[in-house]
């Protein structure tokens, strides 16, 4: 009874706080500019099924893909067990599905146990790879401090989840062997659940222990597991690991146009129309942006912001980026991390955009004045030098397992620099002049354009 | 060299099937002018009904757009769309993947709708249709060639096989680089990088790429893009291999072997 009440309170608090955190994230994504991504649902579902459910893009690197697949499938299938744990927790029963499902129950738990062992091996492999092997993409400048710790915390939590589940199942098996199980419909019986791993592991580890010790082990396993589940759930929204949820909507809403096609912002089209036709009346759009290009996260599309929350900092983008590979400052992963960090900063300091699109501090939040002075484009986050190095080659877009597009953000920030601040390298300024005056990026007269045909 | 011009054709009330979009590099860059001439040689040889805009052509706006100057891009685009629509252009062929991408993908939003074909696809189709017959054996037969994927042809538009098919038709010995097709490495010139110095780093991108190309042992690095052509040529020079290794465009190779 007390256990049930305790569990119910935990359940409400756990999901309640998760819901609250989810709402904050949705609020942050809504900081972005509107963009319609509702067309071609068929293609979108296909992307989601292949890329998110099917892990298609992970398989460009088969070994990590298989390890990742083990954790992913284990995670999905374990949700069945989680349902039972929740029902048991509320009702005060134990293994309530077992009498209902019979042999299928044994099969399901056995399957979960095998997946859990695979996930355990994969998690250890990932810990080793992250911390002992010197994989360059896990040791770039942006991967120190919190991002490094975050990557490890998730893996530790996964290890704990698996250890607890085997404590529970193993302890239970040992109790069943002694005819002391409290499982629904099996109390007093002596035998085995027949779970693939714990029928061996349970007696091997816990055989010969007293009934009281076994009960404690089993309960530590049960409570430990569910406590880690709630911790995990509420840790996700502040972690890169949130990709396990956002990968699905993110692949659904991914760009369907060819990668080479950059957007043609409507507000610029309106301006150009007015230049070519002075009688043209630009459409009155209340949502029209205050500026050309993007200076802060509020100038980016909501999809770019969803991208940022979906990024799991795996660094596959940066490891194929030609600029990054040759030692330049640009790292597409950092672009995504900076975008997320800036959104978090806006939320933390309750900043609000004013009429001109500048951020103003919320009332009474300490440090808000300073935070309001920052923008996504600037010394704290993405610098001009990083932006300048991008070749728009789309290698990062191709490499991302969850269809994130860093090029969209880079180009929007470049647009702001060039069109609002007239800030560009001198060579780009003369390139622009040449195009304007001669119709070519080089300083050749337009009249010579056809000379090539005169030579043999 | 006989190159029909749209304005002349219009004066004769002719509407050629194709516009050959030459591009700025194809018009002004001494090296890529040779590619334009090679491609025209093929078009003339096959008897393709085409014309160029000649002096009426102007930059499509790709480098401006990618540098962030959307204003200038749209000014250029609208100007070009007006010219092309005036001549009722329906199909465009171009030897520049940047022109190809922009005309194909970015002009429709501004009112320019054309069927745009990159010359590698066009050459492959001519070969497949049996319209281009190569001299017995050909001068590239059995030669070790590596193809450098242009980002704006490959990842940007999914064209990986057409240029390789052309090389196969030349009976060349195609050697792939470690990073090819979807994983291809940029030459370093896209995104308007062609027109400025690279940011500080520990290496130039084209040097990295040329090194990879040279590692295949190929005697010819095939390209299908003026920027890649320049960058790979410079990369080969960096390793002082310009005597042994040539950088050639697909059109030049086909033109050389025409029957």
- How sure is the predictor about B136, in pLDDT bands with cuts at 50, 70 and 90? low
pLDDT tens sequence across A206-243: 989 999 999 999 999 999 999 999 999 999 999 999 99
pLDDT of residue B178: 96
pTM here is 0.96
Q: What is the mean pLDDT of residues B120-126?
A: 97
Two tokens at B26?
A: 């194809």
Query: Which parts of chain A have pLDDT scores under 50?
Result: none
State yes or no: pLDDT of B1 exceeds 90: no
Q: Find all residues with CB under 8 Å of A387, minimum gap 6, and list them.
A: A330, A377, A410, A413, A414, A417
Residue A410 burial (10 A CB sphere; 0-12, 13-18, 19+): buried
pLDDT of residue A313: 97
Whether residue A320 and residue B78 make contact (CB cut-off 8 A), yes or no, is no
Q: Nearest chain B residue to A410 by CA: give it.
A: B68
Whether residue B58 and residue A446 make contact (CB cut-off 8 A), yes or no, is yes
> What does the DSSP 8-state code read for residue B224?
S
pLDDT of residue A40: 97
pLDDT of residue B179: 97
Q: Chain B closest CA to A149's CA: distance in Å?
A: 28
B88: left (phi over 0), alpha (psi -120 to 50) or beta: left
Mutate to test the interface with B, among A260, A421, A427 (most CBs of B within 10 A): A260
pLDDT of residue A455: 73
Query: Strand, helix or coil at B92?
Result: strand
> What does the DSSP 8-state code read for residue B236?
H
Chain A residues whose CB is inside 8 A of the B195 CB are 427-428, 431, 441
> What span, in angstroms and rounded, lies between the C-alpha atoms of A316 and A321?
9
How large a percentage of chain B has pLDDT more than 90?
A: 96
HSE-CB for A450 with a 13 A CA cutoff: 16
In contact, A382 and A413? CB cutoff 8 Å: yes
pLDDT of residue B48: 97
Q: Chain B closest CA to A385's CA: distance in Å?
A: 7
Chain B residues whose CB is inside 8 A of the A57 CB are none
**Burial readout A11-45 (b: 16 or more C-beta within 10 A, e: otherwise):** eeebeeebeebeeebeebbebbbeeebeeeeeebe
pLDDT tens sequence across B163-222: 999 999 999 999 999 999 999 999 999 999 999 999 999 999 999 999 999 999 999 999
Chain A residues whose CB is inside 8 A of the B203 CB are 326-327
Of A393, A444, A453, the CB nearest to B190: A393
ipTM exceeds 0.95, yes or no: yes
Look at strands B18-21 and B50-51 and give their pairing. Answer: parallel
Q: What is the average pLDDT value for chain B, to the nearest integer? A: 96
Of B68, B191, B205, the CB nearest to A293: B68
Q: Is the dihedral of CA A371, A376, A382, A383 positive or negative?
A: negative
* Helix (H) or strand (E) segment spanning residue B174: strand B173-174
pLDDT of residue A77: 93
pLDDT tens sequence across A167-190: 999 999 999 999 999 999 888 889
pLDDT of residue A456: 64
């Amino acid at each position: 009874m007390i256990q049930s009440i305790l569990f119910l309170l935990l359940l409400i608090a756990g999901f309640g706080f998760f819901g609250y955190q989810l709402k904050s994230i949705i609020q942050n994504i809504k900081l972005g500019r509107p963009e319609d991504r509702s067309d071609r649902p068929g293609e979108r579902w296909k992307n989601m099924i292949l890329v998110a459910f099917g892990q298609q893009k992970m398989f460009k690197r088969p070994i990590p893909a298989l390890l990742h697949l083990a954790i992913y499938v284990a995670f999905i299938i374990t949700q069945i067990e989680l349902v039972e744990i929740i029902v048991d927790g509320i009702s005060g029963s134990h293994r309530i599905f077992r009498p209902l499902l019979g042999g299928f129950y044994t099969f399901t738990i056995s399957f979960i146990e095998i997946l859990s062992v695979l996930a355990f091996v994969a998690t250890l492999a990932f810990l080793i790879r992250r911390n002992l092997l010197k994989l360059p993409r896990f040791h770039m400048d942006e991967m120190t401090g919190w991002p490094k710790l975050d990557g490890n915390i998730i893996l530790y939590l996964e290890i704990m989840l698996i250890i607890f589940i085997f404590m529970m199942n193993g302890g239970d098996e040992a109790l069943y062997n002694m005819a002391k199980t409290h499982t629904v419909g099996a109390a007093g019986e002596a035998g085995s659940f027949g779970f693939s791993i714990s029928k061996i592991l349970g007696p091997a580890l816990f055989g010969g222990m007293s009934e009281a010790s076994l009960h404690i082990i089993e309960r530590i396993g049960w409570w430990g597991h569910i406590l880690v589940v709630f911790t995990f759930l509420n840790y996700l929204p502040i972690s890169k690991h949130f990709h396990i949820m956002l990968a699905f909507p993110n692949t659904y809403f991914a760009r369907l146009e060819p990668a080479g096609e950059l957007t043609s912002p409507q507000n610029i089209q309106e301006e150009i129309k007015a230049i070519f036709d002075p009688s043209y009346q630009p459409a009155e759009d209340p949502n029209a942006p205050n500026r050309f290009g993007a200076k802060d996260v509020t100038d980016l599309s909501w999809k770019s912001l969803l991208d940022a929350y979906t990024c799991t900092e795996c660094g596959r983008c940066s490891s194929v980026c030609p600029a990054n590979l040759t030692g330049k400052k640009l790292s597409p992963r950092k672009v995504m991390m900076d975008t997320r960090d800036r959104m978090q900063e806006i939320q933390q300091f309750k900043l609000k955009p004013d009429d001109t699109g500048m951020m103003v501090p919320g009332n009474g939040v300490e440090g808000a004045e300073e935070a309001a002075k920052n923008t996504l484009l600037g010394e704290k986050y993405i610098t001009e030098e990083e932006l300048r190095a991008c070749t728009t080659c789309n290698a990062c877009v191709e490499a991302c397992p969850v269809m994130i597009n860093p090029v969209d953000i880079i180009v929007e920030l470049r647009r702001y620099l060039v069109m609002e601040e007239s800030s560009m390298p001198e060579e780009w300024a003369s390139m622009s002049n040449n195009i304007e005056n001669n119709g070519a990026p080089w300083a050749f007269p337009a009249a010579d354009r056809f000379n090539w045909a005169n030579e043999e | 060299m006989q190159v029909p011009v749209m304005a002349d054709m219009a004066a004769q009330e002719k509407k050629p099937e194709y516009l050959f979009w030459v591009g700025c590099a194809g018009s002004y860059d001494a090296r890529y002018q040779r590619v334009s001439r090679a491609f025209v040689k093929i078009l003339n040889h096959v008897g393709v009904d085409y014309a160029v805009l000649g002096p009426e052509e102007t930059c499509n706006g790709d480098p401006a757009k990618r540098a962030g100057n959307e204003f200038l891009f749209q000014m250029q685009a609208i100007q070009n769309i007006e010219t092309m629509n005036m001549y009722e252009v329906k199909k465009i062929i171009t030897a520049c993947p940047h022109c190809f991408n922009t005309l194909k993908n970015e002009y429709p939003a501004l009112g320019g709708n054309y069927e745009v074909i990159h010359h590698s696809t066009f050459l492959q189709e001519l070969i497949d249709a049996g319209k281009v017959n190569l001299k017995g054996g050909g001068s590239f037969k059995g030669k070790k060639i590596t193809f450098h994927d242009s980002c704006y042809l490959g990842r940007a538009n999914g064209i990986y096989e057409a240029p390789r098919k052309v090389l196969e038709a030349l009976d060349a010995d195609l050697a792939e680089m470690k990073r090819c097709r979807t994983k291809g490495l940029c030459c370093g010139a896209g995104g308007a990088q062609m027109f400025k110095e690279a940011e500080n780093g520990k290496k130039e991108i084209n040097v990295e790429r040329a090194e990879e190309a040279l590692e295949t042992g190929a005697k010819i690095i095939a390209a299908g893009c003026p920027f890649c052509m320049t960058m790979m040529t410079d990369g080969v020079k960096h390793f002082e291999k310009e005597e042994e290794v040539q950088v050639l465009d697909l059109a030049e190779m086909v033109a050389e072997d025409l029957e």
